[in-house]
A = this chain, B = another copy of it.
Amino acid sequence: MANFSPLIDELIEALRCLPGVGPKSAQRMSFQLLERNRGGAERLANALQRAVDQVGHCRSCRTLTEHEECRICSDSRRDSSTICVVESPADVLAFEQGGDYRGLYFVLMGHLSPIDGIGPEELGVDRLLERVKTLSVQELILATNPTVEGEATAFYLAEEMRRLGVSVSRIAHGVPLGGELEYVDSGTLAHALKGRQRFE
């Protein structure tokens, strides 16, 4: 792509660090910004720099935040007897948009993946165990992704929690509400069948 000026080539290349942005869209983005939205480009440059400089992890739940403790952890109206364990900050948002959950979260920032050198330590499991004890947590809800790694992570955490005598649950997996069976993948369908409950 070394076809424009070096600075434009650099910008096109740098935009490709964004997920889902290939060479063609990076080029389109660069021109759009330089031709029509330099204000937007500067705002984006600042927002990126400020987020990189200031956003770290919540000391209690590990989610991304620029504060010591995130908005949810520092909200005294949340029910601290329940912790929902998720893989990423986006999962927290998904639950919050549902609006029904009033407990706290713990964000692993990933899942167990020995091949990538990601073990319990990298996921902050010590921190989670400590929180469970400090807050006298009654129930730990495992909401890791329904993938091989997510399941393995849930299994590992369930074992650890049982040792502490904490009740552990796993969110239900199956056919999405409003989903049509023919569009659901076969793994989900097999799972939904295996997890069937008596109709009463």
- Chain A interfacial positions (CB closer than 8 Å to B): 3-8, 10-11, 13-15, 17-20, 25, 27-35, 37-38, 40-52, 54-55, 64-67, 70-71, 88-90, 93, 96-97, 109
Question: Taking chain A's interface residues, is the majority helix, strand, or loop, or is none over half, making it mixed?
Answer: helix
Contact residues in B for A88 (Cβ distance below 8 Å): 31, 35
Q: Please give me the residue from chain B that is nearest to A67 by CB atom.
A: B5
| A-B contacts, 21 listed (Cβ < 8 Å) | A3-B96, A4-B65, A5-B65, A5-B66, A5-B67, A10-B51, A11-B50, A13-B47, A14-B46, A15-B44, A17-B41, A17-B43, A18-B18, A19-B28, A19-B29, A31-B89, A34-B51, A34-B55, A34-B64, A44-B48, A45-B46
Contact residues in B for A28 (Cβ distance below 8 Å): 19-20, 90
Min CB–CB distance A70 → chain B (angstroms): 7
| Neighbour of A10 across the interface among B31, B50, B109, CB < 8 A | B50
Residue contact B93 to A51, C-beta cutoff 8 Å: no
Contact residues in B for A55 (Cβ distance below 8 Å): 5, 7-8, 34
| Neighbour of A35 across the interface among B13, B38, B65, B109, CB < 8 A | B109
Residue contact B44 to A6, C-beta cutoff 8 Å: no
